[in-house]
Amino acid sequence: MPRLLPRLAAVAAIVAVVLWFQPEIIEPPAKVSSHGLNLRSAPDTRAQRVAVLPVGATVEVQRCLDDLSWCNVRHGQQSGWVAADYLVTRSDGKQVKLTDVGKELGVLIETARPGS
């Protein structure tokens, strides 16, 4: 038992260091940067419009296509796809386009187009 306590302390210290240095992986909140951004049922301009998001609306990014052209987002109780060019987020204290930093921020990337 006396040797167990130092081992547990060492394991706890290692776990604490690993957790401390984890990269910040977030489900980034993003804001709509364009008036009247269409929230669609699929990542396609011909897909049904679910809602129109006003400029400045905050959305929760669920995932994006691998080319970062479309992102699946949640806004309140609604979810759907938006053109990623019209989303901005914060990185290093600056407002940036999600398409420029999405992968670095840990946005979940979907490699296959939904429905295909």
Look at residue 37 in the predicted model and tell me its pLDDT. 96
**pTM for the model:** 0.70
Per-residue pLDDT 10s for the chain (116 aa) are 567 677 766 666 665 555 565 554 445 589 999 889 999 999 999 999 999 999 999 999 999 998 999 999 999 999 999 999 999 988 888 888 888 887 777 787 777 666 55
How far apart, in whole angstroms, are the C-alpha atoms of residue 41 and residue 47?
Answer: 6
CB 97 within 8 A of CB 107: no
Q: What is the pLDDT of residue 65?
A: 92
Catalogue the E-assigned strands of 5-69. 29-32, 37-40, 49-53, 58-65
Task: Say if CB 102 and CB 84 are below 8 A apart.
Answer: yes
Pick the CATH number of 26-110 from 3.40.50.10470, 2.30.30.40, 3.40.190.10, 1.10.357.10: 2.30.30.40
pLDDT at 84: 94
